[in-house]
Amino acid sequence: MNGSTVNIPTTLWTTRAAPKPNYCQTPEDPEAWTIILMVILAFLLFASICGNSLVILATMMSKPLRQRVTVYFIVSLAIADLMNASAKIPIEISFEIHSKRFCHSQGVCYWYQIAENISTIASMLCLFFIAIDRFIAIKYPFKHQSMFTTRKVRFMVFGIWIFSFCFALSNIFQWKHTIYSKSTMAIDWKKDRSCTHQNRLFFSVGFGLYAVLLVIMTITYSMILSIALTQIRAIEGTTVAAPRLDSIDPAEADKERAQRMRRKELKATKSVALVYVFYLICWFPLFVIVNILQYNQTHFRKLRESNMTVFLFIWHTFVQILPAVNTMINPIIYSFSNNQFKNAFKSIYRRMVNKFDSGHLDYSQSRSNRTQSGISLASTAYSQSSVAMQRKSDVNGNGLPNNGYEPKRRSQNDRSEKREC
C-alpha cells in the first residue's frame, strides 16, 4: 500500500558502485529539475495543510454542515489527507535533497511507513463509505436517515481508523518467511541509505483491497449517474400545473417528495463524485507502478537506462506529484461545487477580515491615545516648568520672595538710639 518514492528499492536509482562517504550531505550544485520538484512539493505541502485545516475548521464552525452525516466522512478524509501530506511530503523533499537517500533515524523510518499506510487506507475507506452513503441517499431517500444516523456514522468513522491502524501496523512484520529473509520485521532500514519494507504479501492484499473498493465505487457512482440522468429527464418532461387539493394522491405526494429529496442529494453528491474521480486519477497509476516494482524492476530499470527523460517524467508525475496533489485538491473541489462549504469558507474569511480590521483599529486607537497622553504630559511638564521659572524670577537679591512688599531698612539714627539706651 505504501507507494512513496522512499519505499521503492534504492537499486532502481543507484549503481553497483559503493556509495560515497558524504552521500547524505546536500549537494552544492543541485540540478534544476530537483529544485523545481522540491518547490512544487513544498507548495503542495503548504496548500494541503491550509486547505484540509480549513475544511475541518469550517465544519466545526458551521451548524448546517454539522447536521449532515456525510460531513463526518469528509472531515475524516481531510484528516487522512492532512496526515498523508505531513508524513510523506517532507520525507520526499529530504529524499530529493540528499540524492535519493533516506538520511533519518530508524524511528523516523518506522513512523513514516506506518503513518503513510494509515492515511492511505483511511482515505480509501472514507471514499468508499461516502459512495455508499450517496447511493442510499439518492436511491432510497426515506431509508437513508434511519440507516445513516449520527451515532452510526461516528461508529463507522471510528471503525475506519481502527482498521486502518491495525492493517498498517501489520506492515512492519513479515507475513511469510522466505529463504532470502528470515527476519520477523518487514521494514528494511539502512543507515543513511534507504527505508523500505519487503512484505510483498502485504502489497498484494493491499492492492486487492484497493481494486475491490475501486470497482464497487465505480459501479456505485455509475448507478448514481444513471439515477441523475433519469431525474433530469423526468424534470424536463414534467408540465407545470396547479394541482387541486382534493385530487392529490398520497402516493403521488410521496413520489414528489422523494424526487425533491433526490434533487437535493444529487447536488451534494456532485462534489464527492469529483473527489472520487480525482482520487482515481491521482492514485491508480501509483498503485500499478509500485506493485510492478515489487515483483519486477527490470522494465523501469531498462527505461531509465534507455530514456532518462521519460523515466523521470513518469516517476515524478505519477509517483511523487499526483499523490501529493490529491491531498490538497479536495478543499478546492468543495469550495467550487458545494454551496454549504462555500458559505462556510466565506464566513471564516469574513471573520478573519473583521478580526484583522478590529485589531488594526484597536492598535490605531491605542497609538492615538498614547500620543495624546504624551502630548498632555509634555504640556503639563511645560506648564510646571514655566511656573517654576516665573517663581525663580520673582526672587529678590537676598533670596526672599518679592510679593509687592519691601522690608523697611533701619536708619543710622535708629541704631545709635538703640546703643544709647
- Kindly tell me the burial class for residue 143, based on how many C-beta atoms sit within 10 Å of its own C-beta (0-12, 13-18, 19 or more): exposed
User: Residues 402-419, buried b or exposed e (16+ Cβ, 10 A)?
Assistant: eeeeeeeeeeeeeeeeee
Classify residue 308: in a domain, yes or no. Answer: yes
Q: At what angle do helices 70-97 and 150-169 cross, to 10 degrees?
A: 30
Classify residue 57: in a domain, yes or no. Answer: yes
Q: Lowest mean pLDDT of 137-151, 178-192, 312-326, name the range.
A: 178-192
Q: List C-alpha distances in Å: 348 to 229, 253, 340, 344.
A: 35, 40, 12, 6
pLDDT band at residue 184, thresholds of 50, 70 and 90?
low
Cross-strand pairs, 173: 185
Q: Mean pLDDT in the chain?
A: 78
pLDDT band at residue 372, thresholds of 50, 70 and 90?
low
Mean pLDDT in residue range 397-412: 49
Classify residue 406: in a domain, yes or no. Answer: no
Classify residue 200: in a domain, yes or no. Answer: yes
Find the domain containing 129 and state its range: 32-237+262-337
Classify residue 82: in a domain, yes or no. Answer: yes
Mean pLDDT in residue range 212-233: 85
Q: Lowest mean pLDDT of 131-140, 280-289, 290-299, name the range.
A: 290-299
For residues 70 and 152, is the Cβ–Cβ distance under 8 A? no
Please tell me whether the overall predicted TM-score, pTM, comes out greater than 0.85 for this model.
Answer: no
Q: What is the C-alpha to C-alpha distance for residues 347 and 75, in angstroms, rounded to an integer? A: 18
Classify residue 197: in a domain, yes or no. Answer: yes
pLDDT band at residue 328, thresholds of 50, 70 and 90?
very high
**Number of domains making up the chain:** 1
Classify residue 249: in a domain, yes or no. Answer: no
Write the CATH number for 329. 1.20.1070.10
Q: What is the C-alpha to C-alpha distance for residues 71 and 51, in angstroms, rounded to an integer? A: 16
Classify residue 103: in a domain, yes or no. Answer: yes
| pLDDT at 102 exceeding the cut of 90 | no
What single-letter DSSP state applies at residue 172?
A: G
Query: What element of type H or E holds 328?
Result: helix 322-337
pLDDT band at residue 392, thresholds of 50, 70 and 90?
low
Q: Lowest mean pLDDT of 14-23, 69-78, 329-338, name the range.
A: 14-23
Report residue 58 CA to chain centroid gap. Answer: 12
